[in-house]
Amino acid sequence: MASIQKYTNDAVRNMIRHNTREIIGNSNTDIDSSKTPLNYSFAMPTHGGKSDYKYYKELIDSRYIYGRGTSRESGTITACSWVVTCPKEIVDNPDKVNTFFEGTYNFISRRYGEENIISNSVHFDEAGEPHIHVLFAPSTAIDHDKIHYKTIKDKKPTITDTGRYEIGSHYKLENGERVPIKNYAKMSDYYDYKLSANDVINKYELQHFHQDLQNYLDANGIEGRVLNGATTGGNYTVKELKEFTQKTGLTLEDVKTQLTEHTLLESYVERTSKVQELEEIMHSKDIQIEALQKEVLAKDINLNNSEDVIKKDEQIKDLIHTINEKNLEISEVTEKNQNLENKLIEVQQALESKQKELEQVKARVDELEKEKSLEKTQEWGHSSAGWGDKTQSEWGARNLNIEEEHTW
């Protein structure tokens, strides 16, 4: 199974140090330091011998960041990380494990650009199965023509040359002509690429990543099945269930529920992004209205009925109408977001309830194991009956029927 993580600039350095185990006395209690020497990374020729962090700093300096030098920059996602876990069916074969991780790294490196890879680390010293972290900058090309004109996002994604899914855009036309943007970000003229996690890690990319990775592994004869959410099952013993729950606080059924509800989270993020986009449009319209109003006030009172003033007045009315429509859109999206938040709270409460049930089951299993151990001691230490004297019912009573495997 693969999962995506996102980091702001302040968090990247610590993440690099954590992945390379440079932090002495790591607070992660799941790390077994005796296995740390088993960890390794694949070579990254594009770094040219530089440290991962130095390469990262030079990389983001060469990319356009919206709001660079302002408070917006601190909240910008400058790095993303795919974490891919080794499939259980090959975990006991070191050669297959290494081939799987190498294939996974090559796939991610090609998909997001080898020059955008910041670091990679294969970990054997953490709880659970071995896994690989591939940290990269979410970089995408800047269309220098489009940044000067108003555009509309396409409804369907396009597939880039590297296989990544990207949502493009087309020009907004008025009377058949492209509409210039008066106050576009002029700094973007000096860059060929920009950092945008929303563009690179969009909902279509998340939907297709697992299947595309599996297709790549199959095409290159690499063993290992990438687990794919609720469509993939597996057999787990009681011991494995305990370990999984101890690490994550969730049962496997909880995970299946979360995966089913994953679209809720995607919808929430998408709608929140839509609200921000609408607010930016509103701000832009406010600026235009203020400028037009100043122009009108500057005109002589005697020209109130002139064609120019009438035109400006009509433009103001149109803008006010547009703002009212956007206000309505924001209201609708906000209401939907509130419903999604309520649903997420319900899911969280359900997970807490499931956790309590699991703790009760665990306590019962421990109790049964103690009873079984006690009965065995009594049978061998105190029973005077011979082997032939034990009835079938006695043996049945001592064979506790504890289901050791569950399928999800």
pLDDT tens for each residue of 191-233: 899 999 999 999 999 999 999 999 999 999 999 998 544 334 3
Element spanning 345, H or E: helix 307-382
DSSP 199: H
What integer pLDDT is reported at residue 218 of this predicted model? 96
What integer pLDDT is reported at residue 385 of this predicted model? 46
What integer pLDDT is reported at residue 110 of this predicted model? 97
Tokens standing for 310?
């009438």
Contacts of the segment 327-331: beta carbons below 8 A, 24+ positions apart: 327/282, 329/274, 329/278, 330/275, 330/278, 330/279, 330/282
Q: Residues near 258 by Cβ (< 8 Å), separated by ≥ 6?
A: 250, 347, 351
Indicate the SS3 state at residue 390.
coil
What integer pLDDT is reported at residue 67 of this predicted model? 76
Q: What percent of the chain has pLDDT over 70?
A: 71
What integer pLDDT is reported at residue 320 of this predicted model? 84
Q: Which residue, among 238, 211, 250, 213, has the nearest Cα to 354 in the 3D structure? A: 250
Residues (pLDDT < 50) of the chain are 228-239, 241, 252-253, 256, 260-261, 383-408
